[in-house]
Amino acid sequence: MNLFEEVKKELVSDGVFDKSEEIKLDDKSVAYVVGELEQFSLLKTDKDIVGDAFEVFAESKLVGEKGEFFTPREIVKIAIKLINPQPEQSILDPACGSGGFLIYALEHIWRVMDESKKYKDIENLSEIKKEIAQKYFFGIDKEIDLVKIAKALLLM
């Protein structure tokens, strides 16, 4: 559980965890889950799969109880292509859910930056990308658990 406390301290300021958040599983259950997940890398996994997994679990709760639904990824991809967001343009998703629109918009902008002459020879491009994400990207959702999921996915 010490590892969770370390991760929690690091991610409280990002809003992924609350200070009072705790794991409500016994040590044996946590060890089992960690053992099963060790063979996978969420950072190397396609974002569609990770986002879809979160949405499957969340959607069963939200659609039935609150009438919410998630925009299919293909629709999000088409919308981003049509909108063609650019660096330093503000992006707001007023019903961000698990952050799919924000993630695809951010990746689109980063691709634009990678291909742009303006950013070509900049040494600290990854820092500039991070600053753009922090300064120009905003998501809102009435479900705090979805906000936490969106933040976690954006951090990945």
Mean pLDDT across the chain: 80
What is the per-residue pLDDT for 91? 95
**Most confident region among 7-21, 25-39, 124-138 by mean pLDDT:** 124-138
In angstroms, the CA 90 to CA 83 distance is: 12
Helix (H) or strand (E) holding 32: helix 27-37
In angstroms, the CA 117 to CA 124 distance is: 15
What is the per-residue pLDDT for 85? 97
Give the residue carrying structure tokens 């060890």: 31
In angstroms, the CA 113 to CA 22 distance is: 39
Fill in the DSSP letter of residue 104: H
Domain at 43-155: CATH architecture: 3-Layer(aba) Sandwich (3.40)
Average pLDDT (27-31) is: 81
- Domain residue ranges in the chain: 1-39, 43-155
Terminal Cα distance for the chain, rounded? 22
149 vs 68, residue with greater confidence: 149
| Stated pTM of the model | 0.66
51 vs 84, residue with greater confidence: 84
pLDDT digits (tens, 9 = 90+) for 104-126: 999 999 999 999 999 888 889 99
In angstroms, the CA 123 to CA 41 distance is: 28
In angstroms, the CA 123 to CA 126 distance is: 8
Average pLDDT (124-139) is: 92
